[in-house]
Amino acid sequence: MALGAELAARARPGVVLLLQGELGAGKTTLARGFLRALGYEGEVRSPTFNLLWLYETEPPVCHADLYRLDRPEQVEDLGLHEYFETHAVLVEWPERNFDAFPEDAIRVRIEVLSDGQRRVSIAGGKTS
């Protein structure tokens, strides 16, 4: 939750966060912290079955989960790319998308260690 809030401090339209990690690693919890920091008080669920949720925050947020998709055409049909410039975008299971993300997307990798602790690595973003 705290890391999500910290990342939300830099949220703006055009920011794309790719949340990677095994089932139960904390991707949705990070998204929940992100949305709470932007003032969203409602329920934040993984969009695994709906595939995409939109939140009217400032900036607006698009939260997608690509776990159930297995072909690039399915991601294109979802229309996720339409939100890349107008929303802050959170994507769970981005590895299912076959690299259809902006080059400056931020990759957030969450690993669950043997003692249950989490290790997070963050890479990418704009270099200028």
Residue 50 Cα to chain centre, angstroms: 15
Contacts of 67 (CB under 8 A, 6+ apart): 48, 92, 93, 96
Specify the number of domains making up the chain. Answer: 1
Phi, psi of 82 (to 5 degrees): -65, -20
Identify the pLDDT of residue 119: 95
Give yes or no for residue 127 having a pLDDT over 60.
no
Q: pTM value?
A: 0.90
Tens digit of each residue's pLDDT (9 = 90 or more) over 97-122: 656 788 899 999 999 999 989 999 99
Q: CA–CA separation, 51 vs 77, rounded Å?
A: 11
Identify the pLDDT of residue 57: 96
Order of strands, edge to edge, in the sheet holding 88-92? 52-55, 61-65, 88-92, 16-20, 106-112, 118-124
Give yes or no for residue 47 having a pLDDT over 80.
no
Contacts of 13 (CB under 8 A, 6+ apart): 59, 60, 85, 86, 87, 88
Could you tell me the CATH number of the domain that includes residue 108? 3.40.50.300
Identify the pLDDT of residue 128: 46
Contacts of 29 (CB under 8 A, 6+ apart): 1, 4
Q: What is the CA radius of gyration of the chain?
A: 14
Q: Binning pLDDT at 50, 70 and 90, where does residue 46 land?
A: confident
Identify the pLDDT of residue 49: 76
Mean residue pLDDT of the chain comes to 90
Identify the pLDDT of residue 87: 97
Name the residue range of residue 65's domain: 2-124
Q: How wide is the angle at C-alpha 63 spanned by C-alphas 44 and 30, nearest 5°?
A: 60
